[in-house]
Amino acid sequence: MKTKNKTSLKDLNSFRVDCFSSNFNIINSEKEIIDFLVSNKEPDSIILGGGTNTLFKNDIDKPILKIQIKGIEVINENNNSILISVGAGEVWDDLVNWCLTNNYGGLENLSLIPGNVGSAPIQNIGAYGVELKDVFESCRAISIETGSLRIFKNIQCNFSYRSSIFKEELKNKYIITNVIFKLSKNNHVIDYSYEPLKNDLKNNNILNPTINDISKSVINIRSSKLPDPKLIGNCGSFFKNPVVDNIKYKKLKKKEDNIPYYKMSKNKVKIPAAWLIESCGFKGLRDGNTGTYDKHALIIVNHGKASGLEIFNFSQKIKNKVLKKFNILLEEEVNIIDN
Ligand code: EPU
């Protein structure tokens, strides 16, 4: 473990907010986590993965544990499927590319998602019709309170849309150190039911897509409407898409006939937060050093010199306007870290 006193967090958060940590610890193994927990009785340490879903509101005095546990290992396989064990500190998209190179199927729809493997189960990352829960077998995690190791199987993680047990009842209670994925080796399940993906494949005359075709198409779509965090600071979707019941949806539809929705269950529909935000006039709007991306209203961007507080205040303006206009309270997808 390496501990530093004053560390810039600018390159460690994809919003590229310029702030400092006064207690920064780089963790390379489960043992280092346990050693840290034994010698630091600080219950509210901050666990940092790729920093791609994190907004630091200010400088951080609480200890930060930057998880850098690496490694991709095959642990079991048969003719059809394979189990791989991946360190929490591996970069998500490097894992996706490793799978594509080896022709292992399951992660291709999740191409180009920023972040690290250990953060993926927390918010059940999802895109283009697939969610992490579809390929997740289990994970290893260490209790912050007791330092003991626990294995969570898929069913025990209570995965739901952009959430899991690690975001709800066990929020900030465990540090994920390793994830096991179950992937296909042949007869891959190719899912291109998501409309924009279907259209992109069709436009490229691809009728029977391979997992590599799906990945390329997802990359095309993502790059055309989401800003590259290396070029412009952002954390992807700032808010979750709100889920409302049918009664509320019908009321909204009466007022706004063209309101888009996705059916979630018999009684519930999901409404794109981007549409609500755009309808409130925020798309492409600039507010000092921050604003929303001009090609996607759900992405808040840092135009270069925004502080965490500035970005946070702007997000609250959006939230208030949407609440006033639609009576819908948006919920942040990004983790907001306050000292
Ligand atoms: N829309 C607008 N204005 C915009 C953009 C979109 O009105 O500026 C409306 C359109 O009606 C569009 C709909 O919103 O059809 C949905 O947009 P999109 O397909 O871009 O998906 P999203 O619901 O905004 C979600 C995820 C993304 C993921 C895409 C694709 C959430 C919070 N976000 O976005 O995930 O890439 O679907 O599956 O669920 C992320 O989590 O950071 C992320 C980018």
Tens of pLDDT, residue by residue over 73-108, are 999 999 999 999 999 999 999 999 999 999 999 999
Q: State pTM to two decimals.
A: 0.95
Q: What is the mean pLDDT of residues 15-43?
A: 92
Tens of pLDDT, residue by residue over 144-182, are 999 999 999 999 999 999 999 999 999 999 999 999 999
> Would you tell me how many other CB atoms lie within 10 Å of the CB of residue 190?
16
Please say if the pLDDT value at position 42 is more than 80.
Answer: no
The domain of 97 spans 72-184
Ligand 1: residue whose CA is nearest its atom 22: 272
- pLDDT at 339 (0 to 100): 80
Identify whether residues 316 and 250 lie together within a single domain.
yes
Please say if the pLDDT value at position 237 is more than 90.
Answer: yes
Q: What is the mean pLDDT of residues 242-258?
A: 94
- pLDDT at 79 (0 to 100): 94
CATH code where residue 39 lies: 3.30.43.10
Question: Which residues are tagged catalytic?
Answer: 162, 237, 333
Which of 55, 198, 275, 283 has the most ligand 1 atoms within 8 A of CB, as the residue to mutate?
A: 275
Dihedral of CA 95/97/98/99: which sign?
A: positive
Query: What spacing in Å lies between the alpha carbon of 328 and ligand 1's midpoint?
Result: 17
Which of the listed residues 67, 100, 124 is the one where a domain comes to its end?
67
Which of the listed residues 41, 67, 93 is the one where a domain comes to its end?
67
- Would 212 be classed as within a structural domain? no
Separation of alpha carbons 73 and 82, rounded Å: 11
Query: What spacing in Å lies between the alpha carbon of 274 and ligand 1's midpoint?
Result: 6
Which of 130, 237, 239 has the most ligand 1 atoms within 8 A of CB, as the residue to mutate?
A: 237
Which of ligand 1's atoms lies nearest the C-alpha of 194?
38
